[in-house]
């Protein structure tokens, strides 16, 4: 079935059900960013495979909303379908409700559908309110039309769950549950439902392989004052995991029993995070609901010593793989005849993945590699396919954003690499982006500063020239968990989560010139106490306070060949030289003589 046939089949069901439109968000029953194939309804109905987007289908029209990362990719993927691309945060783009109000203006008492099982309570309630304002459109939430039309829909995965060893987790599951219960008591709650898959994996020190690039497993977790119950398909549990759960007093029940589990929950009240809990489950609860944010993310994002040590080890191995890759790439560009097939975006992706996979404790990629050569580099979340795969020549810029899941840490790194001669414009823009990266990397800030306060540091040099990037500057990175972990972020929008020591955060300014090239330079960083070596000691009460800074975890040379040296200040040059000295010092012991010599050249003082 092609997209138009799928739309035809959907509209037949919609007609039978008297639905004027149906909304397909990109989430699953757990509000995951990356979802199991079973839940890729939006991709199935629209053909757009980006990680974020919402498809809306009426009887006569269809539209897809996505953000700036995916504008170019979505345009390509929607070509030839009846979908209209709706660019989020661009002036003039209607909201979904506004668009439906317009499209359904001739329909009498229109009803719109959304699957309330894969949509959070907050989103559904907002949608109900927004649609009511559009001439009283109503919303139905108890129905998934694709059950009738998506014939070869993948089943929910049955992959085995494994125990995440304490040496990497750093804190036992029993201790974590005790901490969660204390936090619940502070919110006057007797228990909670955990829907977020990474929060479940973190709490229980379990990992899985149900979701692409993310070591989680499909489940719910119900915590009360005396009981902890894991709702998951029991076929996923090995003997070892069963014994581990028993040992930690975690009961199990089947995944499909979660509604019953909520109905028979015996305490006075239950905390449900409306941003995390699906609308259908929120409505299934019979006890008093305490609508508050889950206490788990705030615990999970502050890494313990074992986790930090794990990141540091994983980053060394990831750096070794990156260095071997970069050396191979450089040599391959110089003697293309030595290669079996010409260099292309896909072939270098395969090579890089193979080099990472050689490393101990490697488990998976942490997201699909973005290898964008020249104009493809301007597509923020470009993913090369056999149709788009571009041959790589010894000139211009390659934007390479990649990462891996190692059992002791998750990595996320972007390098933009000059493959040969680059234009003056490329050098100029590359240096602006690097200056922003360094400004954030050098920042010192008071404990509990918000990411929004720091964001301008990475953008200031771009803004001065009328350039900007519409994605965030930084996001948290999980500890052998999701590569995007929150709620800490560094971005233009207000994010109230304060930064404290031992949080991870990426530093990834970029710039994208459509049709020409893209530049992004990203290190994963960790928040550490700053040594504010003052010129003079200050002991005034108002001035006292602890300060933080960002320390790079990522260890990989930053290409110096596209830098315009005169655009860097002495301080910026010093930061880059210091970083390169660190990269060399940490990676050299694991490299061959030849590799070491290569790295020595790449990290030599500017």
- Which residues make up the interface to a second copy (CB under 8 A)? 68, 71, 90, 378, 425, 428-429, 443-446, 449-450, 452-457, 460, 463-470, 492, 494, 496, 511-515, 530, 532-536, 538, 540-543, 545, 547, 569
| 247 vs 493 by CB, closer to a second copy | 493
Smallest gap from residue 475 Cβ to a second copy (A): 18
| 235 vs 464 by CB, closer to a second copy | 464
Q: Which two tokens stand for residue 344?
A: 């292309």
d(CA 316, CA 319): 5
In sequence order, the 6+-apart residues with CB closer than 8 A to the CB of 337 are none
| 340 vs 541 by CB, closer to a second copy | 541
**Inter-residue contact 579 to 341 (CB < 8 Å):** no
Smallest gap from residue 260 Cβ to a second copy (A): 36
Smallest gap from residue 513 Cβ to a second copy (A): 6
**Inter-residue contact 103 to 61 (CB < 8 Å):** yes
Q: What is the secondary structure of 9-31 as a DSSP string?
A: HHHHHHHHTT-SEEEE-S--TT-
Smallest gap from residue 442 Cβ to a second copy (A): 8
Order of strands across the sheet that contains 228-231: 250-253, 228-231, 220-223, 192-194, 269-272, 288-291
Smallest gap from residue 423 Cβ to a second copy (A): 9
| 52 vs 470 by CB, closer to a second copy | 470
d(CA 369, CA 73): 15
Neighbouring CB atoms inside 10 A of 580's CB total 21
**Inter-residue contact 263 to 231 (CB < 8 Å):** no
Q: Which two tokens stand for residue 368?
A: 């699909």
Smallest gap from residue 70 Cβ to a second copy (A): 11
| 264 vs 546 by CB, closer to a second copy | 546
| 266 vs 463 by CB, closer to a second copy | 463
| 165 vs 545 by CB, closer to a second copy | 545
How would you classify residue 386: left for phi > 0, otherwise alpha for psi between -120 and 50, otherwise beta?
alpha
**Inter-residue contact 192 to 271 (CB < 8 Å):** yes
Smallest gap from residue 446 Cβ to a second copy (A): 6
d(CA 145, CA 513): 40
Taking the CA atoms of the chain, what radius of gyration do you get in angstroms? 25
| 239 vs 534 by CB, closer to a second copy | 534
DSSP code of 257?
G
Q: What is the secondary structure of 134-156 as a DSSP string?
A: TTS-EEE-B--THHHH-TTPPPP
Smallest gap from residue 139 Cβ to a second copy (A): 23
Q: Which two tokens stand for residue 71?
A: 């504008």
Smallest gap from residue 539 Cβ to a second copy (A): 9
- The SS3 assignment for 471 reads coil
Q: Which of 89, 115, 105 is nearest to 31 (CA)?
A: 115
Angle subtended by helix axes 570-587 and 305-334, to nearest 10: 100
In sequence order, the 6+-apart residues with CB closer than 8 A to the CB of 410 are 311, 314, 366, 403, 404, 477, 478, 479, 480, 481, 482, 483
Smallest gap from residue 534 Cβ to a second copy (A): 5
| 52 vs 163 by CB, closer to a second copy | 52
Smallest gap from residue 50 Cβ to a second copy (A): 15
| 100 vs 454 by CB, closer to a second copy | 454
How many Å from the N-terminal Cα to the C-terminal Cα in the chain?
56
| 447 vs 502 by CB, closer to a second copy | 447
DSSP code of 522?
B
Smallest gap from residue 239 Cβ to a second copy (A): 50
Smallest gap from residue 512 Cβ to a second copy (A): 6
| 456 vs 500 by CB, closer to a second copy | 456
| 152 vs 543 by CB, closer to a second copy | 543
In sequence order, the 6+-apart residues with CB closer than 8 A to the CB of 554 are 315, 318, 319, 411, 412, 413, 522, 523, 524, 525
């Amino acid at each position: 079935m092609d997209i138009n046939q799928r739309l035809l089949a959907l509209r037949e069901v919609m007609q039978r059900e008297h639905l004027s439109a149906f909304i397909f968000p990109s989430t699953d029953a757990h509000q995951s960013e990356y979802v199991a194939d079973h839940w890729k309804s939006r991709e199935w109905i629209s053909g757009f495979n980006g990680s974020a987007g919402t498809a809306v289908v009426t009887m006569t029209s269809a539209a897809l909303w996505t953000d700036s990362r995916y504008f170019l990719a979505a345009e390509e993927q929607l070509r030839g379908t009846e979908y209209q691309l709706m660019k989020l945060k661009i002036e003039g783009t209607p909201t979904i409700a506004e668009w439906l109000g317009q499209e359904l203006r001739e329909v009498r008492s229109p009803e719109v559908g959304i699957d309330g099982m894969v949509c959070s309570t907050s989103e559904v309630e907002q949608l109900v309110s927004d649609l009511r304002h559009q001439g009283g459109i109503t919303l139905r939430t108890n129905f998934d039309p694709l059950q009738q039309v998506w014939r070869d829909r993948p089943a929910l995965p049955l992959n085995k769950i494994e125990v995440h060893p304490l040496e990497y987790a750093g804190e036992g599951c029993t201790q974590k549950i005790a901490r969660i219960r204390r936090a619940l008591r502070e919110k006057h709650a007797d228990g909670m439902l955990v829907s977020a898959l990474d929060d479940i994996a973190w709490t229980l020190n379990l990992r899985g392989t149900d979701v692409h690039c993310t070591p989680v497993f499909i489940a719910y977790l119900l915590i009360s004052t005396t009981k902890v119950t894991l709702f998951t398909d029991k076929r996923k549990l090995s003997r070892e995991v069963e014994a581990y759960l028993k040992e930690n007093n975690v009961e199990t029940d089947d995944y499909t029993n979660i509604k019953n589990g909520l109905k028979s929950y015996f305490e006075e009240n239950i905390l449900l995070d409306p941003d995390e809990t699906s609308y259908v489950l929120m409505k299934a609860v019979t006890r008093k609901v305490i609508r508050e944010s889950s206490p788990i993310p705030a615990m999970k994002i502050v890494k313990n010593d074992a986790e930090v040590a794990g990141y540091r080890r994983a980053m060394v191995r990831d750096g070794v793989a990156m260095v071997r890759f970069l050396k191979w790439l450089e040599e391959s560009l110089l003697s293309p005849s030595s290669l079996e097939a010409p260099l292309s975006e896909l072939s270098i992706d395969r090579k890089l993945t193979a080099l990472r996979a050689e490393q101990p404790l490697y488990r998976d990629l942490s997201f699909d590699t973005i290898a964008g050569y020249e104009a493809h580099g301007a597509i923020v979340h470009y993913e090369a396919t056999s149709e788009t795969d571009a041959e790589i020549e010894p000139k211009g810029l390659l934007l390479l954003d990649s990462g891996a899941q190692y059992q002791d840490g998750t990595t996320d790194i972007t390098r933009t690499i000059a493959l040969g001669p680059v234009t003056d414009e490329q050098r100029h823009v590359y240096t602006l982006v690097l200056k922003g990266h360094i400004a954030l990397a050098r920042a010192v800030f008071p404990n509990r500063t918000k990411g929004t306060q720091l964001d301008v540091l990475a953008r200031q040099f771009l803004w001065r020239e009328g350039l900007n990037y519409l994605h965030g500057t930084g996001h948290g990175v999980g500890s052998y968990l999701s590569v995007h972990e929150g709620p800490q972020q560094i971005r233009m929008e207000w994010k109230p989560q304060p930064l404290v020591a031992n949080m991870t955060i990426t530093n990834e300014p970029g710039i994208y010139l459509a049709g020409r090239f893209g530049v992004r330079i990203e290190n994963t960083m960790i928040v550490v106490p700053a040594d504010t070596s003052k010129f003079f000691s200050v002991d005034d009460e108002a001035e006292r306070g602890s300060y933080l800074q960002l320390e790079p975890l990522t260890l990989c040379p930053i290409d110096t060949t596209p830098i315009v040296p005169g655009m860097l200040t002495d301080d910026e040059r010093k930061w880059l030289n210091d970083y390169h000295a660190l990269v060399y010092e940490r990676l050299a012991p694991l490299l061959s003589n030849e590799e070491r010599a290569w790295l020595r050249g790449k990290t030599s003082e500017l």
